[in-house]
Structures are given as C-alpha cells and as structure tokens.
Amino acid sequence: MTGAVDRHAGTIGVVAFVLIWELAARLVWRDPGVLPAPTQALAEAWTVLTWDVLLGHVGISLFRILAGFSIAAVLGMALGLACGWFRGLSLALRPLVELLRPIPPLAWIPIAIVWFGLGEPSKIFVIALGAFFPIFTNAYRGITMVSPVLFRAARTMDVDGLRLLWRVAVPAAMPDMATGLRVGFGLSFGILVAAELIAAERGMGHLIMEARQLGHLGVSIFGILLIGVVSMLADHQLGAAIRRTVGRWARV
C-alpha cells in the first residue's frame, strides 16, 4: 500500500493541487472574475474559443519560436564553433558578444520595433537574439574544452585540418551544444510570450491579454496553462531528439 502511494506521489501531488485550487475558488473566493476554478476556466475556454482560433494562436506562436530559434541555433553554433577553432576570430568577436550579453533580450523589444516595425521580423529578431547567447557560449565552451588527448589521437591517425574539426572536435563539443540549445529554447518561450503581450495581434501571449480585456479571466488562465504545457512538450521533444542523436556517444 505505502509502495503504491510512494510510486504515484507525483500524481497525488498534481491531483491535490488541482483539488485545492478548485475548492478554494468555489468555496473561498467564489468569484470567477478574480479566481476561476480549473473547471470554470476550462468551461469558459470551451465556450469562448473555437478550435480554429486556438490553433491559429498556437500556430503563429510556434512559427515565431521555430523561426527565431532556428536562426539562433545556426548562427550561435556556427559562430561559437568558429570562435573556438580560430583564435583570431575569437579575439575579435567574443568581446562584442560579451558586451551585448548583459542586456536582457526583452530590452531589445523597443529597438526591434523601431528597426523592423510591428510585424513578424521584430519578434523573430528578439527571440533569435535571446536564444543566441546561451547557444553561442555553450558551443564555444564545448569546443575549447575538448580533451587534447582526442586531438593527439586523431593526429597520430593523420586526421588534420577541417576533418579534425568536423570529425573530432564537433562531435566532442556536441553535449555542450545540446545544453546550449536547450537553455536557448527555454528562453525563447519566455521571450515570445513577452513580445506577444507587448506588441502582437495574434499568438498565445496575445490570447491571454485579449481575454483579460474582454473579461474572460478563465480563458487567460487556460492560455497561461497552455503556454506552460506547450513549452514543456516542446522541451521534452528537444530533449528526446538530443538523447537520440548526441546520446549515442555522450551522456546528455
């Protein structure tokens, strides 16, 4: 019996949490305009939202994330690896990166709007920028921390130049790059929501803001939970993909 309770501790926790919320909302607050119960939030979302509208919001948000994150991943990994491999480039480029890094991604939103207008490019720019830094740093660190033993072993086998980079250094740096990708991906979700709250006509962030203005707080809560679920699922997928690829030769 205790074994069963122990095994399902997580489930018990979640159920207890939802139950407490439900009871508190229905018995203590009693005002769905202030704190809707989970069932009330779901019911409200069910009546207010249609599948088309909901999928439209989720779709545009995912598009922004994927676009921004892909740019960040390509640029971050390429530049990070290049900086780690070519010392001269690192001397010139890394101080610039370090100079810009302390500025939080969200602080770029106003300037992005000035540069790119209110459309998609400004959001994609801010997401790409935010995800770039952890990806770059981890790629750089990964390749500079590759054990010299690997290089010496490769050289005795006459592997040199770009082949050394591609066949030895990059695979050895992969676990660090994977970490960077994951951190960057997590960041891009937070940035997306902020960008959509501040300046967007569509997207999950806009959905929750608009719902509040229309007085549908339940829909807002539904949207908040939806963003959490989507980001968790996406992170899970990314983690699984990393384990499938990098996991074959390194522990990630």
Report the residue number, 80 or 218, with the smaller CB distance to another protein: 218
- Figure out which of the listed residues 59, 95, 117, 121 binds another protein, where binding follows CB under 8 A: 95
- Residue 156 CB, shortest distance to another protein, in Å, is 29
214 binds another protein per the rule CB under 8 A = no
223 binds another protein per the rule CB under 8 A = yes
145 binds another protein per the rule CB under 8 A = no
- Figure out which of the listed residues 178, 211, 242, 246 binds another protein, where binding follows CB under 8 A: 211
Residues in contact with 116: Cβ distance below 8 Å, sequence separation at least 6, in sequence order: 122, 125
17 binds another protein per the rule CB under 8 A = yes
225 binds another protein per the rule CB under 8 A = yes
Report the residue number, 13 or 59, with the smaller CB distance to another protein: 13
Spell out the SS3 assignment of the chain: CHHHHHHCHHHHHHHHHHHHHHHHHHHHHCCCCCCCCHHHHHHHHHHHCCHHHHHHHHHHHHHHHHHHHHHHHHHHHHHHHHHHHCHHHHHHHHHHHHHHCCCCHHHHHHHHHHHHCCCHHHHHHHHHHHHHHHHHHHHHHHHHCCCHHHHHHHHHCCCCHHHHHHHHHHHHHHHHHHHHHHHHHHHHHHHHHHHHHHCCCCCHHHHHHHHHHCCCHHHHHHHHHHHHHHHHHHHHHHHHHHHHHHHHCCCC
- Figure out which of the listed residues 73, 178, 209, 246 binds another protein, where binding follows CB under 8 A: 209
6 binds another protein per the rule CB under 8 A = yes
Q: Are 67 and 124 in contact (CB under 8 A)?
A: yes
Count, residues near another protein per rule CB under 8 A: 58
- Figure out which of the listed residues 107, 118, 145, 241 binds another protein, where binding follows CB under 8 A: 107
The tokens of 151 are what?
A: 């290089």
Smallest Cα–Cα separation from 138: which of 103, 183, 93, 89?
Answer: 183
Contact track, another protein, 228-247, x by CB under 8 A:
x--xx--x------------
Report the residue number, 233 or 241, with the smaller CB distance to another protein: 233
Report the residue number, 67 or 225, with the smaller CB distance to another protein: 225
- Cα–Cα distance for residue pair 128/9, rounded to 1 Å: 38
Which residues ranging from 176 to 205 are in contact with another protein (CB under 8 A)? Answer: 183, 186-187, 189-190, 192-194, 197-198, 204-205
**Binding footprint of another protein on the chain (CB under 8 A):** 6, 9-10, 12-14, 16-17, 33-34, 88, 91-92, 94-96, 99-100, 102-111, 113-115, 183, 186-187, 189-190, 192-194, 197-198, 204-205, 208-209, 211-212, 217, 220-221, 223-225, 227-228, 231-232, 235
